[in-house]
Structure formats: structure tokens, C-alpha cells
Amino acid sequence: MKRADVVVIGSGPGGSITAALLAEAGRQVILIEEGRPVNPELLRYSYGVGEMRELYRNGGLTPCLGATPIAYVEGRCVGGGSEINSGLYHRTPDDVLEQWRVDQGVLDVSALPDFFAQCERDIHVASHPGPQALASVKLAEGAAAIGATVTDVPLWAKFETGTDGIVRVDKQSMAKTYLPRMIQAGGEIVSGTRVKQLRRMGGKWVVRSVQDRRSLDIECDKVVVCAGAFQTPTLLLRSGVARNIGRSLQLHPMIKVFAQFDTVVNQNWREIGSHQVTNVGEGVTLGCSVGSRPYLAVGLLNYPELVNETATLAPFLGAYYACISPEGHGRVRALPGCDAPVVSYALTPRDVDRLADGLVSLCDVLFAAGATRIFPSVAGSPIITDGESIQQSAARVRAGFAELTAVHAMASCPMGERIETSAVDSFGRVHGVDNLYISDGSILCSSVGVNPQGSIMALAYRNAIQLLGESR
């Protein structure tokens, strides 16, 4: 049996930061990741079929059950979601932190700016120097034309402008930042390994795993679970830890459209623009998405007459989304004999209305930018060409025909000092269980309304420092 001081489960931002800081402090750390290391050859053809198969769980689309189903995305590779997402960076909004303090009694939120600042230095958070992806520029132009506010969201990336004028974005993912620090400090990554259960034996934890169909058990003093808002509650439920686990999942559901322009907007589809539009409705955000040809082909499946024209249309198509911070919530369940969690989500009628309104606002912005046709991800919707077809598509959304996706998941094991409603305390310690911690998006108390990875990083940094202080 292998032995460590601390086992960290999951190598996304929460797990990588935790493992790096603990290893640098002299702890013997083993980090377990279900996925494999990222193959650089896959990223050369970013957002293609090979990447979806190798770096994402279930090829990138896992169903979330509900009256309006939502397909959610999870990374499964060394570095987790940091390897596959766009790298947009937000701090947790101040009003959200205050809500957590009031509602859940979360301690020490006033110290978080220092941890945000440290993470921003470590992962090189900076604004895009431009010029940006043309599809993103179109979104910004359309928003400005109708008087909406445009934000240029910073990225965790290094930028290099070539002699051709194109800005290359080198995203500073966990595989380029915290994971090398962890290895240099003596930590160990065990990849391709699925953790099945945590067991308490003789005052120690035994992490029971499977690697290449062989059992692998690791004994340790402390366990930090950082497997994400779906897999973390599933593992804990299988391990008999159930208090307020998996009952309060939050997503940011989004509806996507593909807009056709008369001019080329999809010249460098590997780059996702960082413009977002935020004042088009309460809790609604508009943004630019992936423009690869496989992705466009999937997006046009509702219009089969156009699928064979994807190659011709691709330079003129931009992919966009309208995203909401919902009132509804979901649940994560673990079923005996089933490795995958069962995830359900209940949008409220108001959530559905806001998604429909978000679609209308997005179409208004894109037509103001010069779009000629818009193809929404709404079953049975007409191709949108004018105000009447916009309203027809919005009516289909309200009727439950929107094909929703989600890439942000959080709050399935919320933190706080009120044990009747929280799963862990303010620093990630599981209530009533010795030496068991959570440090990922599942500990957020609610939707943050923005990309949550900045929040996850700062909290993971803070929690690791607290854990080290307890261990002195």
C-alpha cells in the first residue's frame, strides 16, 4: 500500500493549487487524477473531435435530467477544467461574498482579495492586448450599437504578437503553473486512476482506487477532495459522507446561437474572444464561444440542410451564447453499482423566461453587428432573420425546446458555519469528519454569476494555508 501525508483527489485549479502549496510546505503529497496527461498534439487542433474524446468526460456532453434537460461539460485530464476552458478570469463579486457571509456565516471573506492577487500573479492574469478574434469584436460592436455595456474580461495567459500581427495566447493552465511547482517540491501525480471510495481505518484514511483495472490503495493522514461539483459529492456519498452533500448544485445554463455574417468573422477559430455583455437583463451574460468546424457542425444539426455546407459557411459563422445565473438548483446522487452520478436540475419558470429574453437580447446585439441569419440551438425553431422569427424562437424556449448546455458547476457541497445548511466549514473541512476536506467549486455557497475558476483558485489558496496552519 502506498503512503502519503495528504492525498489530493482531482487536478483542476482547486486540486493543483492545494497540492502545490502543501508539497512546497514539506508535506508528502500524492495527487490522484482520473484522466491522463494532456497530449500537446491534441491542443494543436483545439476543440476538435480528438480533444473532446480524450480530455472531456463522456466526450464533452453529459446529460443533466430535468423538464428542460441540460448537457454539462467536465474536463477529465491532468489539469482538469483549466486545460479545456477559455481562461476567462473573474474575482467573486463583492455582493456575492457578502451574501455568503450573511446567509451561511462564511468567515474571513475580507481576506480573499489578497489570495486573488496572489493567484493572479501566479497564473499571469492580464487583459488581451488585441487584436481579438473577429467574432468577439462583432459582439462588442453590436453591443455598443444598442447601448449595452461591454467588458473585456482578463485571461490567465501570456500573450505574444507575431510578425503577422496575430496575438498568440498561451493559456497558463495548471499544467503550466501549479503542477510543475508541485512536482518540483517532491509531490507525485498518479494519473489514469479513478477513486472509488474513502475509508477510515485505524485513525488513517485509505483512498481506494482503480488504475488500469488494478486496485490501488493509498493510506494517508488527510484527504482533500477536489474532483469538481459533480464527482466530489458522488465520491463522498459512496463513502458514507452525506450531510448536505449534493443537494444544492448550481449551474450557469446557456443557450447558444450561430450567427452568419457577410464578412469573415471566423478566421482564427482557436482563439475565443474575451468580450462579454452584461446589462441586457437581470443575471444575463452574453459572450462568444468556440468556432471550430466540428463544433459548428454540431451546432447546425437542427438545420440538416446546412450541415454539408459547414466548410463553406464556417468563415462567416460566429458562435455565441446567452447565459443566466438561475434561481433553480440541482441535485447530485450516487446510485449503487453505477460509477457515474445521476444529476438533475430544476429550472424555475422565471429562469426559462430569462433564457428566452437572453436569446432575444443576443439576437438584437448580433443583428446590430451585421448578422444576416442566426441559427439558435432550439429544437423546431426557424432560422432567425427578423423580429418575428426572434419571437418565434423565444416562444420555443419558453415551451421547453431549448437545447441548453452548462460549463460552470458549483455549490453542491456548500461551505459555511451553519451546519444545518452547509457541508463544510468556511475553510473546506467537512463537518463532523476528521481530516477530510473539500477545495473545489462544490464549496461555493451559490452561483457566482461569472466564470467561477477565479473564485475556486482563491478559496483553494486560502484553504491550503489554513490547513497548513492547523498541521503545525
- Residues designated catalytic: 408
- The span from the CA of 22 to the CA of 185, in Å, is 9
Q: Supply 180's cell numbers.
A: 510543475
Residue 145: how many CA atoms within 13 Å on its side-chain side? 16
Question: How far is C-alpha 154 from the chain's CA centre?
Answer: 16
- Sign of the four-CA dihedral 28, 34, 38, 41: positive
Angle 205-206-207 from CA coordinates, rounded to 5°:
115
> CA 315 → CA 167, 261, 293, 376, distances in Å?
19, 9, 9, 18
Tell me if 320 sits within 8 A of 287, measured CB to CB: yes
- The span from the CA of 124 to the CA of 34, in Å, is 27
- The span from the CA of 49 to the CA of 55, in Å, is 10
Q: What are phi and psi of 2, to 5 degrees?
A: -70, 160
Q: Supply 21's cell numbers.
A: 502549496
- The span from the CA of 198 to the CA of 223, in Å, is 9
Q: Considering only CA atoms, which of 237, 420, 445, 238 is closest in space to residue 329? A: 445
Angle 364-369-371 from CA coordinates, rounded to 5°:
80
Exposure string of 271-295, with b = 16+ CB inside 10 Å and e = fewer, is bbbbbbbbebbebbbbbbbbbbbbb
